[in-house]
Amino acid sequence: MKPLKYLIAIGVFTTVSSFAQQKATIKSKADTFLSSSKMHDFVDQLMSKMTLEEKIGQLNLLTGGEAITGETKNTDLENKIKKGEIGGFFSLTSPQKIQKVQKLAVNNSRLKIPLIFGMDVIHGYKTGFPIPLALSASWDTIMIKKTAEIAALEATADGINWAFSPMVDITRDPRWGRMSEGSGEDPFLGSAIAKVMVQGYQGKDLSAHYTMMACVKHFALYGAAEAGRDYNSVDMSKNRMYNEYLPPYKAAVDAGVGSIMTSFNDINGVPATANHWLLTDLLRNQWGFDGMVVTDYTAVNELMAHGLGDLQAVSAMSLHAGVDMDMVGEGFLTTLKKSYTEGKVSMQDIDRACRMVLEAKYKLGLFDDPYRYCNVERAKTEIFTPQNVNFAREAATKTFVLLKNQQQLLPLKKSGTIALIGPLADSKLNMTGTWAVSTDNFKNISVKQGLENAVGNAAKILYAKGSNLVADSVYQSRATMFGKAIPYDSRPEKEQIEEALAIAKKSDVIVAAMGESAEMSGESSSRSNIQIPAVQRRLLAALLETGKPLVLLVFNGRALDLSWENQHIPAILDVWFGGTEAGNAIADVLFGKVNPSGKLTVTFPQNVGQVPIYYNHKNTGRPLEEGKWFTKFKSNYLDVSNDPLYPFGYGLSYTTFEISKPELNRNVMYAGGKIEVTVQVKNTGNRNGEETVQLYIRDMVGSITRPVKELKGFKKLFLRAGETQTVTFTLTEDDLKFYNEDLEFVAESGAFKVFVGDSSTNLKETDFTLEK
């Protein structure tokens, strides 16, 4: 027992410390209130001077033309700026250009209101990081946050202060091309990533010259488009929305995101951009969002194609629903004045939207200094620095997922002759993946260059393309847009394969770089066939016949059907699209400089007929017995098992790990209480490596049907060969909560299972009870 004097001292210290923390919290809230009050007063005074036309002008977001994602472009920009008819621009870069445009607004418009400048800063700026789906596969939120910080640093050095990121749409359908831009299928992991991305972009001070306003998108449910076809309808119960699809958006709002972008889809018959329940009742009234709502590219105009009326009608509808800024379409600019005079929109709605835009500019510090992001010296010294490029390389290595490694074929030795074959083997333009609009792809490192850098004179690299991306030249041109060209080889397929076989026969090992091109995923890039293109598979089959060891590098922006490859290829490494340093990062992992540690965040199906497929499904009333393929009158298929090809959370390493059965510090959780879940994790192999320990729960009895598993915790840790570490998770009552039939967020008493392991299927379990 400790001496009484020691205990009293500890008690006094704790009380003083607690009092100091409370004081700091109170001061922080007071400062926030005063800052908010000052902002409101400033905006009130400014708006009192504004004409109706000037207020409407603030709601108009136009494109500078550097990255067009729709059919519409804007004209007569200089005149509109001077007349106060533009609130902001996107797709315009460099401090010089932005300063020039900003001067037009500040020096020539009546009230000198500065413009806001946005850009699709999705996974890096000039320094390209792996695509967001790949970043999520790292399960490393600290690293992911740093990629957003670096992107913000570079983008703000180039004059931009608003990022149209992060995309947090949950998706379970790999036919949808924009799976590449999100964080996968799980709401818990998706929420954790949404939070750190917002924090990375915005930092602690949104007015700092190196931070930028984030824009969470696409609100909402865009990833659930029917048939995986982009822009398609979504029909979903509110129960599923609240429990499975909305949490990442809510996490971004709770993290203080400054803006939200509407989605293109309709939701239960009402398009998101005109959905008052979504944009006002839910977002502002239930969640307390106090930022700006912007549409996606011409989304207001597209309400006409949805069948909701002419441009005047749909513009009024969007404004009333809760939209503050109209991107590109100029429906607000050209119709709202008329609608106001006809009593079809209120001044209250116009003022609300104008206030949100002005407050965003205030928070960014643009009224204090309109040119705070126009420092030419920063652009010279803070963009594409060696430090940023090195971090991009490190980040990429953490995203690769080792899917198969038969007889420990990997890592390769830096010796002998290596045949590098495939349409993506020497395609530096495709290494950054989709939505890398600001990256200089000519600076990317291809696989060929990366391998040559790694081996130097120690090994010989022989290269052949071997096949086209796809057999159809028209399809290949569609799949290699936006400067991501892969030249089409018009020679007969047989001749191309023979060329590849000639170098394969001279080699000790074959590395095949195959899969999708960068623009085979992303916006408007849905696929009904999610296999590696047939022409590439025929090349793979021919290479296998040589009998040489074969490693497949898979490039992809979605989950693929790799059943044939899994059956025939001895080693498969999913490298996604790794960014600027993709080639060097791939070489780091291929040759064992870095031990792969990525884990899948989307389920890979055995075939497209299983789609949508995801780990946290419901049990049904007729579940198939575990370990069975088919039982009549059970929930299963005649022609394929229910199992995925590769499950959520799966990923191999060059070493092996053992995770013990979870132990609980108590078997009963009481209301407001918690339970600690502890496991021992041992590196049982002969290499150092990282393992991601995953914790799942199952609510065994609920007032509504509950998933068979739900991720509720994960920890990534580094272990030296032979090392054991203790990992402890804390489960609280909040972790057990869900939205019930009445959309009440509750935890219900009863039995729970808790699982811990290295994927959603390789788990050890125990149980506990919640008593309230």
Active site residues: 296
Bridge partners (DSSP) listed for residue 726: 680
As given in the structure block, the two tokens for residue 408 are 């420990």
Distant-in-sequence contacts of 308-311, Cβ < 8 A, 24+ apart: 308/271, 308/274, 311/335
The alpha-helical segments, DSSP class H, found in 117-262 are 132-137, 141-157, 187-202, 238-240, 247-254
* Residue owning tokens 């913000």: 152
SS3 content of the chain, % helix, strand, coil (to 5): 35, 20, 45
Alpha-carbon dihedral angle through residues 643, 646, 651, 655, given to the nearest 10 degrees: 70
Listed residue (119, 137, 321, 322) closest to 214, CA to CA:
119
In DSSP terms, which residues pair with 550 in a beta bridge? Answer: 510
Rounded to whole angstroms, the Cα distance separating 481 from 524 reads 12
* Amino acid of residue 554: V
Taking the CA atoms of residue 391, residue 394, residue 395 and residue 396 in that order, the dihedral angle to the nearest 10 degrees is 120
Please answer whether residues 685 and 719 qualify as being in contact, where contact means their C-beta atoms are separated by less than 8 angstroms: no
Interatomic CA distance for residues 711 and 188, integer angstroms: 6
- Using CA atoms, how far residue 638 sits from 260, 561, 606, 633, 634, in Å, is 44, 18, 14, 11, 11
Q: Phi and psi (nearest 5°) for 78? A: -60, -45
Residue 426, SS3?
Answer: coil
Tokens of 343: 């009593």
Angle at 461 between CA 651 and CA 472, to 5 degrees: 70
Q: In the beta sheet, which residues pair with residue 696?
A: 711, 755
Residue indicated by tokens 């306003």: 213
d(CA 612, CA 485): 31
Element (H, E) at 620: none
Q: Cα–Cα distance between 686 and 705 in angstroms, integer?
A: 44
Query: DSSP characters for 475-540?
Result: HHHHTT-TT-------S-HHHHHHHHHHHHTT-SEEEEEEE--GGGSSTT---S--BPPHHHHHHH
Residue tagged 């809760």 (tokens): 322
| 3-state SS assignment for residue 677 | strand
Preceding omega of 487 cis (within 30 degrees of 0): no
Neighbours of 745 (CB within 10 A): 11
Conformational region of residue 231, where left means phi above 0, alpha means psi within -120 to 50, and beta covers everything else: left
What is residue 441's DSSP assignment?
Answer: G
Parallel/antiparallel/unpaired status of strands 724-732 and 674-683: antiparallel
Give me the residue label for tokens 């090992």: 509
In the chain, the largest separation of any two C-alpha atoms, in whole Å, equals 89
DSSP class of residue 78 equals: H
3-state SS class at 583: helix
**Closest by alpha carbon to 601, among 760, 390, 388, 412?**
760
Residue 448, token pair as written in the block: 């060929």
DSSP secondary structure letter of residue 272: G
- Assess contact for 684 and 658: CB atoms under 8 A: yes
